[in-house]
Amino acid sequence: MSKEIPPNVQQQLLRLQQLQQTLSALLAERQRLEAELLEINSALEELDKMDEGAVVYKAVGPVLVKVSKDKLTVELKDRKELTETRLKVLEKQDAKMRVQIESVQKDIQRSMSGQQASS
C-alpha cells in the first residue's frame, strides 16, 4: 500500500494553493477598496453639509491645498464611481476564483478516492 501522492494530484494541490493565494489577495484588495469607498462617501456627506462659500482643503501628499467645494465634490464623485467599478470587477473575479477552487477541490477528492479504491 503506497501512501505517496500521485504527480497529477500534487499538481492539483499546487494549483489549489495558487488559487487560494490569489483569492486571498483579491479579498485584501476588496477590503481596501471598500474602506476607500466609505471614506469617499463620508467626505461627500461632509461636503454636502457645508455652505457654498466654505473654505475647503484637499490633501496632496503632505500638503493641504485650497480647492473649491464644487471641484472637490466632482473629483470625489469620479473617484467613487471608479472605486465602485473596480469593486464590481473584483467581485466577479472573486466569484470565478471560488468556482475554480471548488472544481479543483472536487478533482482532488475524486483522484484521491479513486486511488484509495484501487489500493
Give the start-to-end residue ranges of the domains of the chain: 7-118
CATH architecture of the domain with residue range 7-118: Orthogonal Bundle (1.10)
* DSSP for residue 29: H
- Residue 2 pLDDT grade (very low, low, confident, very high; cuts 50, 70, 90): low
Residues forming beta bridges with residue 59, ordered by sequence position: 64
pLDDT of 111: 86
Map 52-84 to HEC letters: CCCCEEEEECCEEEEECHHHHHHHHHHHHHHHH
Q: Average pLDDT over the chain, rounded to whole?
A: 92
- Residue 33 pLDDT grade (very low, low, confident, very high; cuts 50, 70, 90): very high
- pLDDT of 80-115, one tens digit each? 999 999 999 999 999 999 999 999 999 999 988 876
Q: Residues 10, 12, 18, 22: what is their CA dihedral angle, to the nearest 10 degrees?
A: -160
User: Residue 93 corresponds to which cell in the numbers above?
Assistant: 473575479
